Amino acid sequence: MAQIIVVTSGKGGVGKTTTSAAFGTGLALRGFKTVIIDFDIGLRNLDLIMGCERRVVYDFVNVINNEASLNQVLIKDKRVDNLYILPASQTRDKNALKKEAVGRILQELINDFNFDYILCDSPAGIEMGAMMAMYYADVALIITNPEVSSVRDSDRILGILDSKCKKVEEGSGRIIQHLLVTRYIPSRVNTGDMLGVEDIKDILAIPLLGVIPESKAVLEASNKGIPVTLEASSDAAEAYLDAVARFMGEDVEHRFLEEKKGFWKRLIGG
C-alpha cells in the first residue's frame, strides 16, 4: 500500500529538503516508485538540490488550479529509476494550496501513477504550506538539530501531528512518527555544546530513525544538484541509507553517535 510521508520540523534550516531528497532517493534506489513534492510555495529549493531546476515548466500550483496535468508537471530523475519530483511554484504564495485539491492530487499520484511512496517536503513553521504537507500524511519524519530551540519547535510539531491531521480528525489512527537528528557532532556533544541523542529522545519521546553527522558532503552535494545519498563515500550518505534501511524494518546499528578518534588518540588511548 502506498504511503504518504511528511518531512517536517518547526525550525528552518535543519535539513528538511536535504532529507527529502536523500531519503526519497534512498527509497527509489531500493526499487520503490517515489515522488518528492515541494510544499514550500514561493521559496522552492527542492529542484535545486535535485539538479532539475532548468527542467521546471509547470508546478504544483498549476496542477491545483487545473492549468496543467500531473503528466506535464512531474519531473523524472535522470540518475535514479523510479524517482520523480513535483516542484513548487516560485511566484505564488502558500494560500494557493487548497486542502481538497491537495488531497485530489495525492490520490491521483497513488491511483493513476502507482507511486509507492510520496514524500511531502514541508516548509518550516506552522503556516499553510506546512499544514498542507502534514494533513494527509501516514508517516512523519521529524527533523531536528541537537539544539534546544530546534527540539522545542519539533515538540510543537508533534502536537499538531497528533491533533490536526486527517487521520486524527477521522478517528482512523495516528501518524507514525520517526525522529531524524541532523548536523550531529559527537565532539560538541561531549563538551556539552550540543544535546545528545538520548536527551533529544527523552524530550520528544518518539523512535529514533537515524542520526546524520555534520558533513561538508551535504553542502557539496547540494551545490552540485545531487542528493547526498548518491555521494556514496560520505558519512552523511551512509547515515541516510542506514535510516532508509531502518525505515524498511532492518536492524541497522547507529554508526555515527561517537566521536571518531584520530591516529594519535587511538595510539595513546585518548
pLDDT at residue 265 greater than cutoff 60: no
Q: What does the pLDDT look like over 175-233, one tens digit per residue?
A: 999 999 999 999 999 999 999 999 999 999 999 999 999 999 999 999 999 999 998 78
- Of 75, 78, 7, 21, whose CA–CA distance to 227 is shortest? 21
- The whole-angstrom separation of Cα 168 and Cα 156 is 16
pLDDT at residue 262 greater than cutoff 60: no
Q: What does the pLDDT look like over 49-106, one tens digit per residue?
A: 999 999 999 999 999 999 999 999 999 999 999 999 999 988 777 677 889 999 999 9
Q: What does the pLDDT look like over 142-154, one tens digit per residue?
A: 999 999 999 999 9
- The whole-angstrom separation of Cα 120 and Cα 109 is 12
DSSP string spanning 116-136?
Answer: SEEEEEPPSSSSHHHHHHHHT
Three-state DSSP class for residue 3: strand
Q: Is 169 exposed, middle or buried (0-12, 13-18, 19+ CB in 10 A)?
A: exposed
Say what percent of the chain tops pLDDT 70: 96
- Which secondary structure element, helix H or strand E, spans residue 102, and what is its range? helix 99-111
Residue type, 72: Q
What pTM does this model have?
0.93
- Distances in whole angstroms, Cα of residue 257 to Cα of each of 65, 71, 183, 184, 188: 46, 43, 11, 8, 11
- The whole-angstrom separation of Cα 205 and Cα 190 is 22
69's grid cell: 496535468
Residue type, 264: W
Q: What does the pLDDT look like over 106-135, one tens digit per residue?
A: 999 999 999 999 999 998 878 888 999 999
For residue 268, the model assigns a pLDDT of 54
Report whether 11 contacts 149 (CB < 8 A). yes
Strand order in the sheet with 34-38: 75-76, 83-86, 34-38, 117-121, 3-8, 139-144, 176-184, 208-213
Q: Is 233 exposed, middle or buried (0-12, 13-18, 19+ CB in 10 A)?
A: exposed
Place of cell 511531502: 120
